[in-house]
Structure 1
C-alpha cells in the first residue's frame, strides 16, 4: 500500500509523494493542493539514488590514504575524540551545512554546532541576493499564493526556467494559457521557453535591470502613472530622478534588446488587466543580481501589479516561515554568543587565513567542494583539518574526508518540512528502511552530542517535530495522519499595497549600476544553469562519462572559429577544461551554457575554473558573471 511521504530535496515544489515500498515507485499525491498528483522526474526516479550500487552504506575511516569500513562505535568514537580535543577553542571547529537535506529534524547539526560555539559559514550560493533585494523593496519576503497566477490577465516569466526548476509552476502556467492568459518569457534563451510561452524576448545575461529601467522610462514618458500607487512608495522622487537621467536607447543597448521589444514589455504591463511576474532564480547570480531583482520588482509595483489578485512579483517565500525551532530545548553546550563566520563564496582563502586555524570540520547536506567557486582552493584547504562528511556517495567532498558517515536518505527517515513556493507543511514519512548501516542524520547528531565529554543532549525526535510544528498550530498526529497541512496565509501578498516596512511603504531602488566591462580575452559569459535530471551535484556517476557538454548559439563568434576535428576547451582566467560543444537555438550569442553540479573527479565541474565574485547584496555568489572563451588545443 502506498505511503504518503514528501520530497526533502532543495526544490521549492516540495512535493507530497506516494511511495510504494514493494514496487519501489514514486508518484505525486493527488490530494495535495500544489503537487496535484504528479512530480518531476528527479523525484519520480529517486529509488535509483537509494538503490545505487555505488551508495556508501557503512561508515568509512581513512587510514594511510585509503578508506576502510568501520562500525558506528569506532567511527563516532574517533569523531568525538577529535571534536572534544578541538573544543578547547570552539572557533577551531567549523560546521558546513547545506540544503541537500531540509526539514525540522534536518536542523540538528546546525543546532548542535551552535551549542558548541563552533565557527560557521556566512554568505550564500543561491538565492540570498534576490531575497535581500525583495526584502529591501517590500519589507518582507512574500508573494501571492501560487494558484493566484490563474487570475492573471498576462504572465511575464522574467528568467525562470520552470521546466527544470518547478514543474508545478509550469503546469499552472499551462492551465492559465488554456484559460486565455498570455505568457511572455524574458531570458537569455536556450531554455526551451518558447514551448510554454506566447512570446519570448532574448536579453543579455545579467542585464535585466536595464530592460526593466527602459520599461520604467516608458512609464515615465507616457505619464500613465497611477497617483495612488505613488503614494504607497517612500522614495518615488529618487527613482524618478534616476530614470529621468537615463536614455531609453542606451538602456536597450545595455541589455541587447531592441526598442520595439522593450516597448512590447511596457505594453504588457501598461495594458488593462493584471500582470503576474515570475522572477528567475538565476537573475541574482550576477555581480548586480540584487539590482536585477529590484528593478523588475519596481516595474511590477509602478504598473500597479502588486497587492492585487492576478498580479504580484513571485520570487520566494521562506521555506521555514511555517515552522519553528527546537534549539531552546537542547541541554548543555555554551550560551548563545557570536560565532566566527567564514565566507562560503571564498571558502578556500578563508580557511587558509583563519586564525586560529580550523582543526575540525563537520560537513552535512552539502557537497561543498563541488558547489563553491574556486573549488580546487577549497579542496586544498580541507586537507589540513580533520574532516567528517555525512553523505552516501564518494563525491568531491567525501573524497577529502577522514570519516564518512552514511545517512538515511528521504523515504528512509521521518521529518517535516515547508516550501519556498507554497504554504503546505509536508510530512516526510519513513517509507522504506535504510540499507546497510545507514542512519538518520538526527540519530547521528543525537549520539554525537551525547558522547561528548561535556555532553550536548538533544530532545527526542518526536519532541523536536512537535515543537517545530507549534508555530503553525499543527499537531504531529494530524500531520502524520494526513501527510500535509496547508497553513493559512492571505492569498494576496501586500494587499492594498500595504508593505512590511515600518511605515507601510514600498522602497524603489535608487541607483542603476553599469555592467562591468568585458575582458577582451574572455568575451563570452559562462552560465552554469540548473539541470532537469538531477538536483545540483546529485548526479549518477554513470552519467558523467566522457567530457562535459557546453551549449552555444550558432551566431556565437566561437562557433565559426572552432574546428570540430580538434579538442575544444572552455577557458577562464582560472584555468581550462576539456568540453564537447553543441548548439542550441535562441541562446544569446555571447552566452555559454554548462549544466551545474558535475563532479570534479570526473572533469565535469565548471566551478574549478569559476572565480570567486560577490553579488551586490546578500553576500551572494556571482557565478554567472564569469567571463570565458572557447578554443581548440
Structure 2
C-alpha cells in the first residue's frame, strides 16, 4: 500500500467529492477540492459504512475468487458470444470502471445503448449546441439568479449548493422541495408541461422586448421559428395546462431582467417519450434570453464528463447494441452485470425478474443487492478505497483522484485486474499499464470547443399527458432521497400523496398502470402536488409501474410517461 491518501467518491451524483484518509484512519473531505471544501455529505458517509461483498458465490455456495474466475472463463468459452450481454450500471463512476467493456467488446458480447438516466435530455442539448458540456463552475458562482428546474439542488448537489447558497433562487418543480422552500418563487408545475412553460416564458420575454438580440443575431439559427411556436395558442391557455399562474410568470420575468441567470436542470423534465424536445425547448428559452456566451450564468444539466478525453478502453467493433430500456434478459444465455441493480432500477420490474431466471447471470460488484438473488455467479469487486481511479464529474469540470488507502481484500478483484485476466485467458492484447491510464486522466486538460451556432428548436410535436389524465388518476413522479442514492443505502418504499387525495396515512393501496401493479403504504405529504403520486428513486416496487420502452430520440428510458390509478388494497 502506498502512502498517498486521496479518495474520490465513486457515487453517481453531481458533486464528485474528493476525500483524504488521515493517519488515524478517518476519512475527511478534501479542502484542496473546491466543491468538497473539507466537508463530506451524508451519502459519502453512508458509503463508508456500507457492508462490502467480500466472497465469491456460485449457486449460493461460497467459493474462492480463483474458482469463481475459472467458472466465468469456462462459461464464456462454452457460450456463443452473441448470446451474451454486458450490462454496466453506475455503481461506481470512476474512469477505470469502464475497463471490462473492452474485453466484452473484443469477445463479441451484445452491448447496451441509450441510458436509464439522462439520455433524452443530453440529446436535446446536443441538438441545439453540438455538445453536452456544462459551463465552468465560476459562471454558476457568479450568477445573480439560479433557476432550479426539476432538480432538488440542495439535496442532490449539497456541495455545489453550498457555494451559491446566498443567491436568489427560483424553483420549478411539482414538489415543494427543500430548495423550493428557500426560493423567492416556486412554480409548482404539472408534470410534462415544462416545454409549455418554456414557451410561455419566451412569449413574455418577447412581449417585454427582453430577448438578447445580439446573441440571436451572432449565434442564433431559427430563433424566429422558435418564437413562432410560442404564438400557436393564447397566453391564458398555458395557465390551466401548466398549473403556473401568469402572475408568477410575470414576477419571474421581472426578477431576471438585467440579471445574469443560471439554469440548473434536473432529470425529471426529460423522463418522457419526447424528453429530447422538452429539454431542447428549455435550452432554447435560455438561449433566447442570452445566458450562453456570458461571463456569468448558463445552463447546467448532466454533462458528458468524458468530453475531450480519448477513451482508454474503446473498441471499435461490430457488437450488437440493444436499447437499454428494452432489454429482454431472457433472450441471452449469459448476462454479465457490473455495478448495477436492474431488479430495482430498470423499468418494468416484473419483466426484468422473469428475464433473469433463464440465463446464466454473473454479478460483479462491491455490495450484495437485490439482483444478486438472481445471480448464478457472484464475483466481488475490490473496494474503491483499495484501487486507483479518477472521477470525472458531470456536475462541474473538476476531477477527483483516488489512490490506494487501504489494503485490498485478496478475495476481491478490481475492474482493471479482471479485464486483464479475461483478456489473457482469451488471448487478446492486455490493457495499457494502469498508471499510464490514470496519469493520462490526471494530467490531460480537455479543450472544450465553444459552439459557433445555436440551433433553436424550430418544430415541436409533444403529446401531453394531461390529455389522457382524468380526475381519477395521478402523474407518477420520482426524485432522489437525501439519505440514499437510487437503490443504495436506505430504502423508502412508500408512495407519497397530498392530503386531498382522500387516502390516509398508512393506508395500504394497490397502484396500477397499463404496465403493471404493486402494493404500497401511503405517506401523506402536502409538499406533493395534489395530482401526483410521488416515489423516491430506489423504491423497490415503483418500476412495476413503468414502461420498458424507449424514448423517441436516444434509446433511453422514459419512467414518467405514466399515469396511475390508486385504490385501497
The interval holding the TM-score normalised by the smaller chain is: over 0.9
Which residue is 1:293 aligned to?
Answer: 279
Which residue is 1:481 aligned to?
Answer: none
Could you list the per-position Cα deviations for residues 268-319 of structure 1 after superposition, in whole angstroms to 9, with x for gaps in the alignment?
34x1121111111221112332232222212211112221122211113222
Which residue is 2:548 aligned to?
Answer: 612
1:20-419, aligned counterparts within 5 Å? 20=22, 22-23=24-25, 25-49=26-50, 52=51, 55-62=52-59, 67-86=60-79, 89-174=80-165, 177=166, 181-231=167-217, 232-269=219-256, 271-321=257-307, 323-327=309-313, 336-348=316-328, 351-352=329-330, 357-419=331-393
In the TM superposition, residue 73 of structure 1 has moved relative to its aligned partner by: 2.1
Which residue is 1:507 aligned to?
Answer: 456
Larger displacement relative to structure 2 (126-135 or 338-347): 338-347
TM-score between both structures, scaled by the size of structure 2: 0.93
Q: Which runs of 5+ in 2 are unaligned?
A: none
In the TM superposition, residue 467 of structure 1 has moved relative to its aligned partner by: 4.4
Note if contact 1:412-1:430 (Cα within 8 Å) is conserved in structure 2: yes
Cα distance, 1:509–1:12 mapped onto 2, change above 3 Å = farther
Could you list the per-position Cα deviations for residues 324-381 of structure 1 after superposition, in whole angstroms to 9, with x for gaps in the alignment?
33337xxxxxx84321112211223xx45xxxx5222211021122211112212212
In the TM superposition, residue 13 of structure 1 has moved relative to its aligned partner by: 0.8
Q: Which runs of 5+ in 1 are unaligned?
A: 329-334, 473-486, 599-603
TM-score between both structures, scaled by the size of structure 1: 0.84
Cα distance, 1:466–1:4 mapped onto 2, change above 3 Å = closer
Note if contact 1:229-1:304 (Cα within 8 Å) is conserved in structure 2: yes
1:588-603, aligned counterparts within 5 Å? 588-598=529-539
In the TM superposition, residue 553 of structure 1 has moved relative to its aligned partner by: 1.8
For residue 497 of structure 2, the aligned residue among 541, 546, 552 is 552
SS of the equivalent of 2:44 reads: helix
Cα distance, 1:46–1:130 mapped onto 2, change above 3 Å = same
Could you list the per-position Cα deviations for residues 458-485 of structure 1 after superposition, in whole angstroms to 9, with x for gaps in the alignment?
3332233234456x1xxxxxxxxxxxxx
In the TM superposition, residue 627 of structure 1 has moved relative to its aligned partner by: 1.2
For residue 16 of structure 1, the aligned residue among 15, 18, 30 is 18
Cα root mean square deviation, aligned: 2.4
Could you list the per-position Cα deviations for residues 84-123 of structure 1 after superposition, in whole angstroms to 9, with x for gaps in the alignment?
122xx43112111122122232111111111112111112
Q: Does 1:464 align with 2:437?
A: yes
Note if contact 1:252-1:262 (Cα within 8 Å) is conserved in structure 2: no
Could you list the per-position Cα deviations for residues 12-42 of structure 1 after superposition, in whole angstroms to 9, with x for gaps in the alignment?
211111234754x332101112211112111
In the TM superposition, residue 168 of structure 1 has moved relative to its aligned partner by: 1.6
Q: How many residues align?
A: 565
Note if contact 1:325-1:467 (Cα within 8 Å) is conserved in structure 2: no
Note if contact 1:288-1:616 (Cα within 8 Å) is conserved in structure 2: yes
SS of the equivalent of 1:118 reads: coil
Note if contact 2:496-2:522 (Cα within 8 Å) is conserved in structure 1: yes
Q: Tell me, in whole angstroms, the C-alpha distance in 1 between the residues paired with 2:464 and 2:530.
A: 17
